C-alpha cells in the first residue's frame, strides 16, 4: 500500500488497511489540524477554548466506542458506564486522599477502574457465551442500572465522599505532583493537556489497529466463526479489546473531570447520554478512528449551539442525522468522503460529475422503464 514518498519506516506503523488516510497528504493535514488546535485558545479566547475542551472530551468516548464497535464488532452502550465510573472513581480518590499525590494517583486509579469494569463486564458476557444483540442489550441495561442507582445514592459514602444521588459529586481543584513539586491544572493548560493526550491516544490506537492484532480484530468483526476456525481465541481477544475500550473511556472520564470538576448520574449514565457515542461513530464512520473524533466534536458543537438557539429542534436534528447517516452513508461520513475523493481523483472533476449524472439518469430511467429512457450516451442499441 505504498503511497507518497514519506519516511514510511516510522510512520508506516501508523498506516494500514484499517484506517483512512495515509501518505504525505494525510500526515500534513494532521499536522495542520494539530497546529490549529494548539493555536485555537490564543485566537478565540478562554471561553471558546473551554467549550472545545468539552467536545474533545467527548472524542475520547467516541474513540472508545469506535475501537470496540468498529474494530471488533461489539456495539456497546456501555462505554458511558466505564466513562462515568471512572469520573466517579476519580472524584472519590481525590476527595479521600486530598493531596497532590492523591490526585496524581487518582488519575491512574480512575483509568484502571474504567478498564477493570470493562474487564469484569466483558468476562461476564463473552465467557458466558452472550452474543451479538444480547451483548448490546446487556451493556445498555448496565448503564441504565447505574443511572437508576446513582440517582438514589444520595447519602452513600465511599470513604468520606458522598456519591450525592442525582446531584452527583464534585472536586475542588486539580493539583498534581508530590511533596514540593506540585502543579495546578487550570484552563488553558487543561485544554493543551487534553489535546496532547487525545493525539497520543489516537496515534496509539492507529498503530494498534493496523498491526497484526488489529487485523485479527477486523477478521473477528467480519466473521467471528471463521476467525475462530483459523485458530484465534475469539473470546479472549474480544475481552482484550473491550478492556482497552474501557480504559480509553476511563481516560475520557478523567478528562471530563478535569474540564468540569463535577459529575452527575444523568449526564453520564442516562440512556440518552449512552446513545450519543453511537451517533458520533455511525456518522463519523465506524471503520475509522478519525471519523468518530471529527463527528463527535462537530455534532456536539452543533447540538450545543442548536440547544441554545433552537432548543426543541436540537434532538430532532440528532435523530434525523442518525437516520440519514445509516441510510445514505452506511459506512459513515469519512469513508463516504474518501470514496467521493477517490472517485473524483480517478475521473477528474468535470468528467466525474458528468459520469455521475449519467449514471443517476440511467438508474432513474430504468425504474420508469422502457428503452425510451435510456441515455443517448450509452452504447446500447435498442432493437
* Binding mask of the shown chain, residues 163 to 202, with x at each position contacting another protein by CB under 8 A: ----------------------------------------
Nearer to another protein, 162 or 190 (CB): 162
Q: Is 235 in the site for another protein (CB under 8 A)?
A: yes
Q: How many angstroms separate the CA atoms of 130 and 238, rounded?
A: 12
Count the Cβ atoms, other than its own, within 10 Å of residue 333.
20
Q: In this chain, which stretch among 171-179, 274-282, 298-306, 370-378 interacts with another protein, using CB under 8 A?
A: 274-282
Nearer to another protein, 94 or 279 (CB): 279
- For 33, 133, 344, the CA distances from 145, given in Å and listed in that order, are 39, 18, 49
Q: Is 303 in the site for another protein (CB under 8 A)?
A: no
Q: Is 339 in the site for another protein (CB under 8 A)?
A: no
Q: How many angstroms separate the CA atoms of 235 and 204, rounded?
A: 23
Q: In this chain, which stretch among 49-57, 112-120, 216-224, 351-359 interacts with another protein, using CB under 8 A?
A: 216-224
Among 201, 229, 227, residue whose Cα is nearest residue 67: 201
Q: Which residue in 47, 134, 157, 343 binds another protein (CB under 8 A)?
A: 134
Q: Is 156 in the site for another protein (CB under 8 A)?
A: no
- For 36, 173, 189, 202, 216, the CA distances from 196, given in Å and listed in that order, are 13, 21, 11, 10, 29
Q: Which residue in 58, 138, 201, 288 binds another protein (CB under 8 A)?
A: 138
**Shortest separation between residue 135's beta carbon and another protein, angstroms:** 9
Rounded to 5 degrees, what are φ and ψ at 187? -65, 150
Q: Is 278 in the site for another protein (CB under 8 A)?
A: yes
Cell of 30: 494532521
**Shortest separation between residue 293's beta carbon and another protein, angstroms:** 19
Q: In this chain, which stretch among 58-66, 233-241, 338-346, 351-359 interacts with another protein, using CB under 8 A?
A: 233-241
Which of helix, strand or coil describes residue 317? helix
The answer to whether residues 192 and 185 touch, using CB atoms and an 8 Å cutoff, is no
Q: Which residue in 5, 10, 133, 308 binds another protein (CB under 8 A)?
A: 133
Q: For Cα atoms 275, 279, 280, give the angle at the middle one, nearest 5 degrees.
A: 120
Nearer to another protein, 143 or 255 (CB): 143
Amino acid at each position: 500500500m505504498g503511497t507518497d514518498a514519506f519516511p514510511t519506516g516510522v510512520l508506516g506503523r501508523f498506516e494500514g488497511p484499517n484506517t483512512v488516510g495515509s501518505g504525505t497528504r494525510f500526515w500534513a493535514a494532521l499536522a495542520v489540524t494539530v497546529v490549529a488546535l494548539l493555536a485555537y485558545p490564543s485566537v478565540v479566547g478562554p471561553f471558546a477554548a473551554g467549550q472545545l475542551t468539552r467536545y474533545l472530551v467527548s472524542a475520547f468516548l467516541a474513540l472508545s466506542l469506535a475501537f470496540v464497535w468498529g474494530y471488533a464488532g461489539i456495539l456497546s452502550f456501555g462505554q458511558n458506564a466505564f466513562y462515568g465510573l471512572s469520573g466517579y472513581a476519580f472524584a472519590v480518590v481525590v476527595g479521600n486522599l486530598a493531596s497532590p499525590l492523591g490526585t496524581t494517583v487518582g488519575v491512574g486509579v480512575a483509568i484502571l477502574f474504567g478498564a477493570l469494569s470493562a474487564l469484569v463486564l466483558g468476562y461476564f458476557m463473552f465467557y458466558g457465551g452472550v452474543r451479538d444483540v444480547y451483548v448490546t442489550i446487556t451493556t445498555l441495561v448496565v448503564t441504565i442500572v447505574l443511572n437508576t442507582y446513582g440517582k438514589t445514592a444520595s447519602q452513600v459514602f465511599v470513604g468520606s465522599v458522598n456519591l450525592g444521588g442525582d446531584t452527583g459529586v464534585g472536586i475542588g481543584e486539580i493539583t498534581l505532583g508530590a511533596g514540593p513539586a506540585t502543579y495546578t491544572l487550570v484552563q488553558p493548560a487543561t485544554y493543551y493537556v487534553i489535546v496532547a493526550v487525545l493525539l497520543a491516544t489516537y496515534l496509539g490506537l492507529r498503530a494498534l489497529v493496523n498491526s497484526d492484532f488489529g487485523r485479527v480484530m477486523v477478521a473477528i468483526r467480519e466473521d467471528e466463526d471463521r476467525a475462530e476456525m483459523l485458530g484465534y481465541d475469539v473470546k479472549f481477544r474480544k475481552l482484550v479489546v473491550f478492556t482497552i475500550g474501557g480504559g480509553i473511556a476511563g481516560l475520557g472520564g478523567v478528562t471530563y473531570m478535569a474540564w468540569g470538576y463535577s459529575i452527575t448520574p444523568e449526564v453520564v449514565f442516562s440512556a440518552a447520554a449512552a446513545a450519543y457515542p453511537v451517533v458520533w461513530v455511525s456518522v463519523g464512520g465506524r471503520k475509522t478512528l478519525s471519523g468518530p473524533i471529527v463527528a463527535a466534536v462537530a455534532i456536539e458543537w452543533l447540538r450545543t449551539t442548536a440547544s441554545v438557539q433552537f432548543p426543541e429542534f436540537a434532538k430532532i436534528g440528532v435523530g434525523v442525522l442518525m437516520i440519514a447517516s445509516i441510510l445514505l452513508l452506511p459506512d459513515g461520513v469519512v469513508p463516504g468522503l474518501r470514496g467521493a475523493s477517490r472517485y473524483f481523483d480517478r475521473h477528474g472533476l468535470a468528467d466525474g460529475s458528468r459520469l455521475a449524472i449519467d449514471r443517476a439518469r440511467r438508474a432513474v430511467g430504468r425504474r420508469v422503464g422502457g428503452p425510451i429512457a435510456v441515455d443517448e450516451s450509452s452504447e446500447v442499441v435498442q432493437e
